[in-house]
Amino acid sequence: MTRPGLRALSGLALLASVTGCAVLPAMPAPVPSSVIPNRAPAPAPTSSGNLSPDGFDAAQRMAVRIRNIGCGSVSTGSGFAIDANTLVTNRHVVADSSALQLSTYDGRDVGATAASTAGLADLAIVRTAEPLPAAPELADADPATGDAVTVVGYPLGQRLTITTGSVLGATTDPLNVNLGEVLVTDAPVEPGSSGSAVLDTDGRVVGVVYAKDAEGHSFVVPVSTLRAMLDDESAFTAAPTCT
């Protein structure tokens, strides 16, 4: 190689080494002791919401079994709490009794202090001595035809049962015990289911079961009637008793 060639090669090597410094690998960063990210503290719940203290859902906890000790007869019906010491049922469930005996979903006995019945609907309210486990919310409006409903009660006086169905429509009361229209559903009920709460998909009360027919339809006092009765203190009078 000629002398000028060597000079050129040396110049290129020097240039490469100088420019190469710009792309030389840097020293590695120190390795951290942990790469687990810090976790934000979980927010504490502000309320228990709809959580149940014993695993039973609200629909079961609000149900009340009613035993009507009459004069020469014993009958059973269903009811549901609307506040800590008040439950709603049917007029015919509490009528002509010498004593009412109440029990909750878990078999706890609750004393009844007074019962009163509505004159214009098959509805009654019973006051209790001890607090009831849970009370549902009343819906603002009656359910529409086709809406799904759930019935919670004690058919035939047997174990607490939940059945489902849908609203078939409204009709005049076939028994003529209620003022205004009543609802018809296909939710299965039996004697003893009278006074059961009818719930919508949000767990709100939309009616009260009071009768059934031979075709398996259940008849329901709508929540609008229940609200109207509850809003009018004069609508309820002391339930008739027997001696």
Partner 1 sequence: MLVVSGLLTAYLIRTTTAWQRTSAEWEDLARTHGTELAQVQTDLEAAQAELTDTQTQLAAAQQRITELADEKARLGDTSASQQQLADYQARVSQAAGQVATALANCIDGQQRLIGYLRDADQYDPSDLQRFATDVDRVCGAATDANAALQRELDR
Chain residues binding partner 1 by CB under 8 A are: 10, 13-14, 17-18, 20-21, 24-36, 54-56, 65, 67, 69, 72-74, 76, 101, 103-107, 154, 157-160
State the nearest-atom distance from the C-beta of 72 to partner 1, in Å.
Answer: 5
Query: What distance in Å separates the CA atoms of residue 155 and residue 60, rounded to the nearest whole number?
Result: 14
Beta strands in the chain (DSSP E): 63-69, 74-83, 86-89, 99-104, 109-118, 124-128, 148-153, 161-172, 181-185, 197-199, 205-212, 218-222, 236-238
CB of 22 to partner 1, least distance (A): 12
Q: Closest Cα to residue 89, out of 136, 45, 125, 116?
A: 125
Complex with partner 1: residue 14 or 51, whichever CB lies closer: 14
At 211, is the secondary structure helix, strand, or coil? strand
Considering beta carbons, is residue 141 or 156 the nearer one to partner 1? 156
The dihedral over CA atoms of 44, 46, 52, 54, expressed in degrees to the nearest 10, equals 50
Shortest Å, Cβ 103 to partner 1:
6
Show Cβ contacts of residue 173 under 8 Å, excluding neighbours closer than 6 positions: 180, 181, 182, 219
CB of 156 to partner 1, least distance (A): 10
Token output for 155: 């058919």
Q: Which is nearer to partner 1, 65 or 217 (CB)?
A: 65
H helices within the chain, ranges in order? 3-20, 58-61, 91-94, 223-231
Return the number of the residue (21 or 40) whose C-beta is nearest partner 1.
21
Compare residues 85 and 103 and give the one whose CB is closer to partner 1.
Answer: 103
Q: How far is the CB of 128 from partner 1 (least distance, A)?
A: 16
CB-nearer residue toward partner 1: 132 or 183: 132
Please report how close the Cβ of residue 166 comes to partner 1 at its closest, in angstroms.
26
Residue of 171, 179, 210 whose CA lies nearest to 77: 210
